[in-house]
Amino acid sequence: MAKKIVSDLNVKGKKVLIRVDFNVPMKNGVITDDTRVRAALPTIEYVINNGGKAIVFSHLGRVKTAEDIAKNDIAPVAKRLEELIKKPVKFVNATRGKELEDAANQLKEGEILMFQNTRYEDFDVNANKEVKKESKNDAELGAYWASLGDVFVNDAFGTAHRAAASNVGIAANVKETAAGYLLEKEIKFIGGAVDNPVRPYVAILGGSKVSDKIGVIEALLNKADKVLVGGAMMFTFLKAEGYNVGSSRCEEQEFVDLAKNLLAKANGKIVLPVDAIVNTAFEDIPGVAKDVDKFDQADMGLDIGPKTLKLFEKELAGAKTVVWNGPMGVFEMKNYAQGTIGVCDLLAKLTKEGASTIIGGGDSAAAAEQLGYASKVSHISTGGGASLEYLEGKELPGIACVDEK
């Protein structure tokens, strides 16, 4: 069944608890990328434009020490929300207590309240120790936050793979829950790719480790028509095939053996690179393209090569659903970004041809954003770990807790 979304709720006159993902990168108290704040605007705007009273909250970083309290103050994010939404945002520098309760009760229709970092509840300042009340879904905390509002909207996909007090805990204590528009998009695109993909369905996997993506690879072998492999994880597979991978990053023997088993199970579905851009040092200096059967012992593969891009283009031809997770090389270095840029180009072309193209969070999402491809694909996920677990077909607590229509 389909999940309720925010527009299915009657929000007029109600205090609407909105769990957003404002876990933005910050440097010295300054936001360096406000993409996640912008992504939450449609849900918040729907609530306030329809007479709701928005109570917005999020985690920011991890709070394990007293130093983390000061470092992860979410006040600058509330300020940025105010600037973007062009309406006052009342900020309460607390996660519980009379000031927060009074502010929630005094909210008028169309107003916005934001309170302090939910992860502050993971550290007991008085006892000077980590307690993880938010992260471990403390029942009392979930019930307390639920008491601040009337209905609950979850719009934080980035934490949907974890049961926390600020998602599952609140949902268990309110009468009505719904997904925000951002969470709805994740359900539509990634959930659609898992449950009912339009075929041909091709997955592209990159990143550094096979061990990080065992579950995803196994799930995709059952679902996808092809799985294209790039990034440093390609060398674990290539070593499993008997190639000399030189000094390239490669996992220990147990994962080489695992890769060998996956290749056997894949029955030709896994497509490996045929060349790579190599260097003899991990530096941003020009490398050379080498076929994978021509590596010398000093060669370190840092990106997929041009022949591999051509191969991937051929394998992607006519695809109707494409999911990509993990960069093709060390994209942070301009000399080793061409494989990742090339895949971005292929996805942009397929999107124009009507394919559903999904970039599954993490480094591949960051690469697409940085390289200017965000508007050229169907969907860029806002969750790293959540995207991977969703692609595995796992039930995510932050989605499961939302009411069905």
Residue 29: active-site member: no
Question: Which letter does DSSP use for residue 64 in this model?
Answer: -
Q: In the chain, what is the greatest distance between 2 CA atoms, to the nearest angstrom?
A: 71
Which of 79, 209, 307, 376 is labelled catalytic? 209
Q: How many CA atoms lie within 13 A of 376 on its CB side?
A: 16
Token pair listed for 341: 């840029």
Given its phi and psi angles, is residue 117 left (phi above 0), alpha (psi -120 to 50 degrees) or beta? beta
Cβ atoms of 162 and 391 within 8 Å: the answer is: no
| Token output for 333 | 């270095």
Q: Which of 96, 385, 393, 394 is catalytic?
A: 385
Give the chain's end-to-end CA distance (angstroms, integer). Answer: 7
DSSP state letters, 49-62? HTT-EEEEE---S-
Secondary structure of 349-383 in HEC code, one letter for each residue: HHHHCCCEEEECCHHHHHHHHHCCCHHHCCEECCC
CB–CB of 319/350 below 8 Å?
yes
Q: Are 204 and 329 in contact (CB under 8 A)?
A: no
Amino acid (1-letter code) at residue 43: T
For residue 76, say if its preceding peptide bond is cis, omega within 30 degrees of 0.
no
**Alpha carbons 234 and 312: distance in angstroms, whole number:** 14
- Is 301 tagged catalytic? no
Q: Catalytic residue at 87?
A: no
Q: Pairing mode, if any, of strands 123-124 and 129-130?
A: antiparallel
Q: Which of 11, 3, 123, 103 is nearest to 57 (CA)?
A: 103
CA triple 87-14-22, angle to 5 deg: 50
**Cα 365 from Cα 182, distance rounded (Å):** 15
Catalytic residue among 158, 362, 384, 398: 362
**Nearest 5°: CA angle at 204, between 161 and 207?**
70
Confirm whether 209 is a catalytic residue: yes
**Residues 369, 15: Cα–Cα separation, whole Å:** 34
Catalytic annotation, pick one of 15, 36, 185, 213: 36
> Looking at the annotation, which residues are catalytic?
36, 209, 362, 385
